[in-house]
Amino acid sequence: MASSIEEMRELPLMKRCWAARRTLLKIVVRHLWALLRGKRPVSGGAALQGRMLQAALRSGVEVRTGVKVNRLLLENGAVVGVACEHSGRSTQIGASSGVLVNTGGFAHNRAMREQYQPGTSPDWSAAAPGDTGEMIQEMERCGAELVQMDAFVGYQSTITPGSETAEIKPGVQGMTAAPHCILVDRSGVRYMNEGGSYMAYCRGMLERDRSVPAIPGWAIFDQQYMETYMLAGTMPGSAKPQSWYEQGYLKQGDSIAALAQQIGVEPETLEATVNRFNGFVADNHDADFGRGERAYDRWLGDPLHRPSETLGAIDSAPFYAVEVVPGDVGTYGGALTDEHARVLRADRSVIPGLYATGVATGSVMGRVYPGAGCSIGPAFTFGYLAAKHAAG
């Protein structure tokens, strides 16, 4: 059932807001109308990719699925094709104008993650299963300079029982930005603004972990949160799976001190952290980290909560905690390229015949992620520029 991000953010409010109920009705009607016409609506990046595939097929482009590229073919320092496997047979495909690599990053390559991004894990990634990095390594073999290999597009997540092997883990970006919830490190101390960019959030977790154990961290919340907001994909006020309690995923305590014992931190420390945050809520000002002062923070919060969309006291027993990890939707580093998407060596000379785009390259955005689409947008743009240069 395709819907926009704004629509999806409205749906959890449907028990409290007629506008959200109308949005749900609109989505259902739109979905049923599409089914009656034999259509399957999609949105976001999937819709963009679908249109691009449609355009390619209409232009007569041959698309070969089930092909595994093993090696770039080099002749006199230039890339002239690829060696690959198809239907169990090895073959080579020549390329007179060049080879364009757009194969994704290395989110699911455990060895590369350990080498370039210690503290992260492919087990927490929502990237496509084929995001395994071999072609980045192959470009390096051909002389490519690799850049920004420590960067990834964060997607703070919580690993519920049964989601360990799921492709997409439950996200918590909106969770810890909502009222009545904070993030603390393994010592029970709050250390960041829990709203804002998911990339900055996960980078903050890694930076904190270098000095104080913070991975996994703990989301701390109360009964008000449980009754009002979603938790790991479950609806507000709904009974949570018994397995969450039995397997130790969802911790619960009748007091903050009791909860602290459940998660293995000093009760006095966690009580001081929560009391300090509750004081900020009373003043409607987060003096430590400014949560709620940015438009992004407020957008992530609760539009129906006043006076602040994101500040709410943690003072209604029982109290709860779940672990939070710095997950991702993909890595953000790879081969260095120029304005024509040509792959460069460390001395900035061009590797003839080799082009790259997407997250197989160091992002044109650097280590910043201004918003959704900052991977797929440049992938299309520099794919076009590469084709234009190769054809010229």
3-state secondary structure 265-314: CCHHHHHHHHHHHHHHHHHCCCCCCCCCCCHHHHHHCCCCCCCCCCCCCC
Residue 10 confidence (pLDDT) above 80:
no
Provide the pLDDT for residue 8. 67
For residue range 265-291, what is the model confidence (pLDDT) as tens digits?
999 999 999 999 999 999 999 999 999
**57 in a structural domain:** no
Phi, psi values for residue 67, rounded to 5° = -105, 130
pLDDT tens for each residue of 136-146: 999 999 999 99
User: Residue 48 falls within a domain, yes or no?
Assistant: no
For residues 11 and 90, membership in a common domain is answered with no
The answer to whether residues 173 and 265 belong to one domain is: yes
240 and 120, same domain (yes or no) = no
**Average pLDDT value for the chain:** 91
**CB-based contact 257:270 (threshold 8 Å):** yes
Do 217 and 310 sit in the same domain of this protein?
A: yes
d(CA 119, CA 112): 12
What is the SS3 assignment for 9-74?
A: HHHHHCCCCHHHHHHHHHHHHHHHHHHHCCCCCCCHHHHHHHHHHHHHHHCCCCCCCCEEEEEEEE
Residue 227 has pLDDT above 60, yes or no: yes
Asked whether residue 75 falls in the same domain as residue 222, the answer is: no
Three-state DSSP class for 199?
helix
Same domain, yes or no: 299 and 311: yes
Q: Check which CATH number belongs to the domain holding 251 and give it.
A: 3.90.700.10
What is the C-alpha separation between 378 and 249, in angstroms, rounded? Answer: 38
- Span 368-375, average pLDDT: 82
Quick check: 330 and 359 in contact, CB under 8 A?
Answer: yes
- Domain range for 17 is 5-43
Domain annotation covers residue 313 = yes
Q: What is the mean pLDDT of residues 380-384?
A: 93
pLDDT for res 199: 87
Q: Domain check: are 223 and 285 in the same one? A: yes
Considering the domain architecture, whether residues 174 and 290 belong to the same structural domain is answered as yes
Rounded average pLDDT over 199-205: 92
Give a yes or no: residue 146 inside a domain: yes
% of the chain at pLDDT higher than 90: 69
Classify residue 28: in a domain, yes or no: yes
Q: Taking a C-beta distance cutoff of 8 angstroms, is the pair 37, 29 a contact?
A: no
Same domain flag for 33 and 177: no
Q: What pLDDT shows up at residue 3?
A: 64
Residue 230 located in a structural domain: yes
The closest of 69, 145, 66, 47 to 342, measured between CA atoms, is 145
Query: What DSSP element (H or E) covers 99?
Result: strand 99-101
Alpha-carbon distance of 40 to 289, in angstroms, equals: 43
Examine the fold and report which residue of 291, 311, 326 is the final residue of a domain before the chain moves on: 326
State residue 374's pLDDT score: 83
The whole-number pLDDT of residue 257 equals: 97
Tokens read off for 386: 């590469």
Q: Are residues 237 and 279 in the same domain?
A: yes
Same domain as 126, residue 95: yes
Our count of domains for the chain comes to 3
Task: Tell me whether residue 51 is in a domain.
Answer: no
Give me the pLDDT at residue 208, please.
97
Average pLDDT, integer, range 123-144: 94
Confidence check: pLDDT of 6 > 80? no
Residue 236 pLDDT greater than 80, yes or no: yes
Sign of CA pseudo-dihedral 9, 5, 310, 262:
positive
- pLDDT tier for residue 375 given thresholds of 50, 70 and 90: confident
Confidence of residue 28 (pLDDT cuts 50, 70, 90): confident
Burial class (CB in 10 A: 0-12, 13-18, 19+), 84: middle
Look up the CATH number of the domain holding residue 97.
Answer: 3.50.50.60
Span 152-180, pLDDT tens digits: 999 999 999 988 777 778 888 889 999 99
Type and span of the H or E element at 221: strand 217-222
* Mean pLDDT of the region 320-326: 96
Same domain, 280 and 355: no
CA 7 to chain centre: 19
Examine residue 52 and state whether it is found in any structural domain, yes or no. no
The C-alpha atoms of residue 338 and residue 11 are separated, in whole angstroms, by 43
